[in-house]
Structure formats: C-alpha cells, structure tokens
C-alpha cells in the first residue's frame, strides 16, 4: 500500500494538524443491498476486497467511506474520494482501531454531550451542509437522505472519530515537553517573518501559549505519523482485489493455486 494520505483536523482553538483521512471518514447507513436483478442471473451484492490483520474489508465498506467523505471538512466537494483512496483510509483506520483495542486504554469513549457538540458544529459550519440548511431538522434530514446517510450512522461516525482523537491525545501528547528556547526559536524564525515591515508584531509573552500549542501539536503529528507508518509496515495487509492496488504497493500475499504444479529455479 502506498503511504497514507494526510488530512487536516480542525481543533477547537483553530489549531490545524495533519492527521489522516481514514480517521474522519465514517460509516454511513446505506440503503439495503444492491437491488437484485429482476432476471434469474445472480448479481454480486458484496465481496471481500482486502484483509488487515484478519479483519476483512468489504466492497460495501468502500462505498460507505466514499459516502461519508461528504462530512470531511477538509475534502473539497469537487474532489470525490477514489476507491483506492477510500481503501487506504480504511486500512489506516483499521490498524489504529486494532491498536486501540489492543492497548485497552481506559476512558477514551466520548460522552453524548461531546458527540452532540461535534454534530452541531458540522450542521452549522460544514459549508456543503450549511448550504442545505442543515441547522434545521428538515434540512439535516434532507441532507442525509441526499447523501445516503442516516442520523445513527453519522452519530456513530462522530463518536468513533472523537474516540480516535482522544486516543491519539492520550497516546502521544503526554510526555512531550516544549522548552522556552523552542518557543523563542519558533517566534523568531517562523512567526516574525510572517509580518511585513511596519506591521505591529505581538510580543513573545502574548503569543507564547499559542506557539507552545502549535509546537506540541506538531510533535504529536510527528509521533503519530511515525507510529502509523510502523503499524502499516508491521501489519499484515492483503489485497484481494488487484484493481485497488496502488502503483507503489509493496509485494503482498496472494493466494496460491491449489492445483498441482511444478516449477524450477536456478
């Protein structure tokens, strides 16, 4: 698999960090299975397309991922998620989820209030949603219907997303120390050049807490990025659908023929 595609998560205080689209795509309730053909010839309803450490990813999971991508605040509406990209996101998310279950970290499940707050944020701030008057219940229902989603599926998606974010916070944020010299360096080398000559520059003491938060988040991003890269390298990922294989995919296990065969090598 290729390297995961990064996305940006909006934090309450406006700090943007790069995370992964896999975390933000969600499983939306889809209408029941593809309609069976009226003729007697069978149609494929669903199939396995990949396996991540024994967890099967189905073709319908990719459909869900693409449908839920509408809720991603960082996805431009004109750029529809490809199936390869959707699979990449699901693989990353599955690896993270397996790690969450394995580490069994306590108290990362978000409360209903937190989930509702996030839902409210999406209904009021997501541009594509705002245009369809998602703030009203009727508009929200119409929006969901138009995108093949259900309220339950969206809520589950938000809860899961918050859970992952909290896991990342607990897993990586603790133990990171930002020193005063680091803050000063960022102020001098990064912030000050942003201001044009003559513009009023805020004093260091005023922006120091904000700089500390930015540096902290950068560290979290870096650690998380490395961690996820390792997970992907160490995990057992098998592609069952060769059409979904990215160009740069590493060699993966493919089933062998059960027929007798002979081969020689020299």
Contacts with other proteins, residue ranges (CB under 8 A) = 30-33, 36-48, 51, 54-56, 58, 60-61, 240, 251-266
Smallest distance, Å, CB 109 to other proteins? Answer: 18
With tokens 């189905």, the residue in question is 58
For other proteins, the closer CB: 28 or 231:
28
Burial (CB count within 10 angstroms: exposed 0-12, middle 13-18, buried 19+), residue 195:
exposed
How many Cβ atoms from other residues are within 10 Å of residue 21's Cβ?
24
Measured distance CA(231)–CA(171) in Å, rounded:
14
Smallest distance, Å, CB 50 to other proteins? Answer: 11
Q: Select from 192, 229, 187 the least CA-distant residue to 212.
A: 187
Query: Cα angle at 99 between 97 and 103, to 5 degrees?
Result: 120
Measured distance CA(85)–CA(51) in Å, rounded:
16
Pair type for strands 16-20 and 6-10: antiparallel
Burial (CB count within 10 angstroms: exposed 0-12, middle 13-18, buried 19+), residue 161:
buried
Sign of CA dihedral 126, 132, 138, 141: negative
What Cα–Cα distance (Å) separates residue 77 from each residue in 56, 67, 264? 29, 12, 53
For other proteins, the closer CB: 60 or 212:
60
For other proteins, the closer CB: 144 or 165:
144
Smallest distance, Å, CB 176 to other proteins? Answer: 29
For the chain, first and last CA: distance in Å?
30
For other proteins, the closer CB: 68 or 183:
68
């Amino acid at each position: 698999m290729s390297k995961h595609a990064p996305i940006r998560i909006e934090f309450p205080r406006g700090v943007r960090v790069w995370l992964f689209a896999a975390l933000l795509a969600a499983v939306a309730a889809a209408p029941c299975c593809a309609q069976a053909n009226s003729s007697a010839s069978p149609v494929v309803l669903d199939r396995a397309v990949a396996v991540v450490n024994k967890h099967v990813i189905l073709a319908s999971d990719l459909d869900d991922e693409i449908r839920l991508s509408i809720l991603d605040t960082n996805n431009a509406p004109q750029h529809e998620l490809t199936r390869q990209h959707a699979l990449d996101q699901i693989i990353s998310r599955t690896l993270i989820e397996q790690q969450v279950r394995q580490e069994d970290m306590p108290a990362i499940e978000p409360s209903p209030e937190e989930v509702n707050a996030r839902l409210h944020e999406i209904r009021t701030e997501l541009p594509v949603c705002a245009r369809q008057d998602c703030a009203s219940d009727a508009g929200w229902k119409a929006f969901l219907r138009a995108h093949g989603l259900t309220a339950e599926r969206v809520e589950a998606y938000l809860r899961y997303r918050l859970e992952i974010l909290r896991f990342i916070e607990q897993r990586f944020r603790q133990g990171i120390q930002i020193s005063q010299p680091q803050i000063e360096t960022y102020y001098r080398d990064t912030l000050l050049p942003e201001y044009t000559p003559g513009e009023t520059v805020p004093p260091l003491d005023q922006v120091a807490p904000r700089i500390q938060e930015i540096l902290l988040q950068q560290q979290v991003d870096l650690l998380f990025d490395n961690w996820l890269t390792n997970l992907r390298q160490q995990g057992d990922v098998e592609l069952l659908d060769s059409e979904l294989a990215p160009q740069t995919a590493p060699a993966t296990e493919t089933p062998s023929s059960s027929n007798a065969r002979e081969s020689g090598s020299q």
